[in-house]
């Protein structure tokens, strides 16, 4: 049964209505399924939300220049990153606390990802224990938020290794949470009883004296540093990927330390407002790393054409954050699967119309920038 009477807090659909055809349709619908403060938590970003808007607008500044009459009969969306093959380049970004959006949370997202052949990046803040994800599905990476010290961080990585996760993504762009005014205005708080099997919601802060600074002497003491990344690389057999890198000098430094790939991201505009848009940062970073160094990108992907543009500018794959959660909120696993299917089909058709048979064929020659 599809509930249509109330316009707020609708129960999740068990079948997909015809009027949901695009990610924008899902966005509008998701709002109807969520409590108001959860909606603002999902949609919002840091401060004036310039980066949230710019993440969407960045794609509109790039135009497509199709090639015609190419033979596409052997076409494929398959990609390879760090020796791992993926059926297509659309991954699920790490999103914490997914039971806020649907009772089955990450378990539902994981099921959808498996069915659609999407690589899922599981957040440290998952409500679903990583041991519940299918061990023999290779399309899963684990995202680490630094646990305040090396021992606890490494313990989580070792658990991920035992569960056959294929890479470790360390998110490094948020040693402090963003100043999210919208969230504060609606008093958003995580439910007190919410379970996080792998991490406390707040890492205990070191004690500081009255004359010390809470940010610099407190929080920054338990924030990860480059030496910690080196330590992790030395202690795991999994490839380490850093998420949230925007500066070319950080990209070079990461590469020199043995980081195996980067996710170019401004955290969906949620951490530092007016931070550079991911597409610009991608181009800056692409210019200083070896051609085959994996650069992934997230932020603002809402259409198959956006995916094409990111790949044309040098991304190996993209991740979607909010779109997957719109799907989850609207119809659980079915909704996430439909969102992935929409983007995958849009991307395939874009490839066909652009005259590119394989992902490797996609490059800068197919786009024009203002
Ligand atoms: C509600 C929400 C929770 C998030 N939680 C995490 C997280 O736990 N770890 C992380 O690395 N990034 C997290 N992110 C950032 C996403 O991984 C991703 O960078 C961002 O959503 C991409 O932008 P998009 O939403 O426009 O696709 C979160 C984003 C949102 C919207």
**Any ligand 1 atom below 6 A from CB of 38:** no
Nearest to 33 by CA among 349, 334, 363, 350: 334
Write the pLDDT tens digit of every residue in 31-64: 999 999 999 999 999 999 999 999 999 999 999 9
DSSP annotation string for 226-285:
HHHHHHHHHH-SS-EEEES---HHHHHHHHHHT--EEEE--GGGTSSTTPPPHHHHHHHH
pLDDT (0 to 100) of residue 3: 41
Beta-carbon count within 10 A of 255 CB: 18
Query: Is the pLDDT at 4 greater than 60, yes or no?
Result: no
| Rounded Cα gap, residues 311 and 290, in angstroms | 16
**CA-closest residue to ligand 1 atom 2:** 95
Secondary structure element (H or E) that encloses residue 296, with its range: strand 295-298
Q: What is the CATH number of the domain that holds 160?
A: 3.20.20.70
In a domain, 299, yes or no: yes
* Alpha helix positions (H), 58-125: 105-116
Domains: count for the chain: 1
Query: Is the pLDDT at 172 greater than 50, yes or no?
Result: yes
The closest-lying atom of ligand 1 relative to the alpha carbon of residue 96 is 8
Query: Is the pLDDT at 2 greater than 60, yes or no?
Result: no
| Rounded Cα gap, residues 283 and 209, in angstroms | 44
**Any ligand 1 atom below 6 A from CB of 98:** no
Q: Within its chain, how far is the Cα of 27 from the centroid?
A: 17
Nearest to 296 by CA among 359, 236, 351: 359
**CA-closest residue to ligand 1 atom 19:** 267
| Pocket perturbation via mutation, ligand 1, pick of 267, 336, 340 by most ligand atoms within 8 A of CB | 267
If one compares 284 and 222, the residue with the highest pLDDT of the two is: 284
| Rounded Cα gap, residues 366 and 275, in angstroms | 27
CA of 55 to the centre of ligand 1 (A): 13
**Any ligand 1 atom below 6 A from CB of 339:** no
Secondary structure element (H or E) that encloses residue 90, with its range: strand 90-92
CA of 244 to the centre of ligand 1 (A): 10
In a domain, 156, yes or no: yes
| Pocket perturbation via mutation, ligand 1, pick of 43, 92, 95, 244 by most ligand atoms within 8 A of CB | 95
- DSSP label at 76? B
In a domain, 199, yes or no: no
**Any ligand 1 atom below 6 A from CB of 178:** no
**Any ligand 1 atom below 6 A from CB of 39:** no
Nearest to 78 by CA among 90, 92, 93, 66: 90
- DSSP label at 64? E
Query: Is the pLDDT at 1 greater than 50, yes or no?
Result: no
- Residues spanned by the domain of 319: 23-66+74-186+213-369
Q: How many residues does the structure list for the chain?
A: 370
Give Dmax (Cα) for the chain. 71
Residues forming the active site: 267
CB 137 within 8 A of CB 115: no
Beta bridge partners of 241: 169, 261
| Rounded Cα gap, residues 361 and 99, in angstroms | 39
In a domain, 242, yes or no: yes
Secondary structure element (H or E) that encloses residue 182, with its range: helix 181-185
Q: What backbone phi and psi angles, to 5 degrees, belong to 221?
A: -70, -30
Query: Is the pLDDT at 5 greater than 50, yes or no?
Result: no
**Any ligand 1 atom below 6 A from CB of 261:** no
In a domain, 79, yes or no: yes
Who's near 103: CB < 8 A, 6+ residues apart?
Answer: none
Beta bridge partners of 168: 142, 240
In a domain, 304, yes or no: yes
pLDDT (0 to 100) of residue 6: 43
In a domain, 191, yes or no: no
Write the pLDDT tens digit of every residue in 327-352: 999 999 999 999 999 999 999 999 99
If one compares 214 and 254, the residue with the highest pLDDT of the two is: 254
**Any ligand 1 atom below 6 A from CB of 93:** yes
- DSSP label at 150? H
Angle value at C-alpha 348, between 276 and 120, nearest 5 degrees: 60
In a domain, 122, yes or no: yes
The closest-lying atom of ligand 1 relative to the alpha carbon of residue 125 is 8
| Rounded Cα gap, residues 279 and 54, in angstroms | 10
Quickly state the pLDDT bin for 7 (edges 50, 70, 90): low
- pTM exceeds 0.95 for this model: yes
Query: Is the pLDDT at 189 greater than 60, yes or no?
Result: yes
**Any ligand 1 atom below 6 A from CB of 244:** no
CA of 94 to the centre of ligand 1 (A): 6
The closest-lying atom of ligand 1 relative to the alpha carbon of residue 299 is 23
CA of 172 to the centre of ligand 1 (A): 13
Calculate Rg over the CA atoms of the chain: 20
**Any ligand 1 atom below 6 A from CB of 300:** yes
């Amino acid at each position: 049964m599809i509930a249509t009477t109330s316009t707020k807090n609708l129960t999740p659909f068990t079948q997909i209505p015809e009027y949901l055809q695009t990610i924008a349709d899902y966005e509008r619908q998701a709002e109807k399924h969520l409590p108001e403060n959860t909606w603002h938590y999902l949609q919002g970003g840091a401060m004036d939300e310039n980066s949230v808007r710019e993440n969407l607008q960045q794609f509109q500044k790039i135009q497509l220049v199709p090639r015609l009459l190419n033979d596409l009969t052997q076409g494929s969306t398959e990609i390879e990153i760090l020796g791992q093959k993926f059926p297509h380049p659309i991954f699920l970004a790490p999103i914490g606390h997914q039971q806020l959006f649907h009772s089955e949370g990450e378990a539902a997202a994981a099921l959808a990802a498996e069915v659609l052949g999407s690589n899922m990046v599981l957040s440290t803040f998952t409500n679903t224990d990583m041991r519940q994800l299918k061990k023999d599905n290779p399309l899963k990476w684990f995202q680490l938020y630094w646990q305040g010290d090396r021992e606890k961080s490494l313990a989580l990585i070792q658990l991920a290794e035992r569960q056959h996760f294929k890479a470790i993504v360390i998110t490094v762009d948020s040693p402090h949470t963003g100043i999210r005014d919208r969230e504060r205005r609606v008093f958003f708080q995580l439910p007190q009883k919410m379970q996080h099997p792998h991490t406390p919601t707040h890492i205990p802060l070191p004690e500081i004296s009255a004359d010390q600074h809470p940010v610099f002497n407190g929080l920054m003491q338990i924030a990860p540093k480059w030496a910690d990344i080196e330590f992790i690389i030395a202690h795991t057999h999994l490839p380490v990927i850093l998420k949230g890198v925007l500066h070319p000098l950080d990209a070079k430094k990461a590469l020199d330390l043995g980081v195996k790939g980067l996710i170019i991201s401004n955290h969906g505009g949620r951490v530092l407002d007016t931070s550079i848009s991911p597409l610009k940062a991608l181009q800056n970073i692409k210019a200083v790393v070896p051609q085959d160094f994996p650069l992934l990108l997230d932020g603002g992907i809402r259409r198959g054409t956006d995916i094409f543009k990111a790949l044309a500018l040098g991304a190996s794959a993209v991740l979607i954050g909010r779109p997957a959660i719109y799907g989850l909120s609207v119809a659980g696993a079915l909704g996430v699967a439909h969102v992935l299917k929409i983007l995958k089909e849009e991307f395939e058709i874009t490839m066909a119309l652009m005259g590119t048979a394989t992902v490797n064929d996609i490059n800068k020659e197919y786009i024009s920038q203002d």
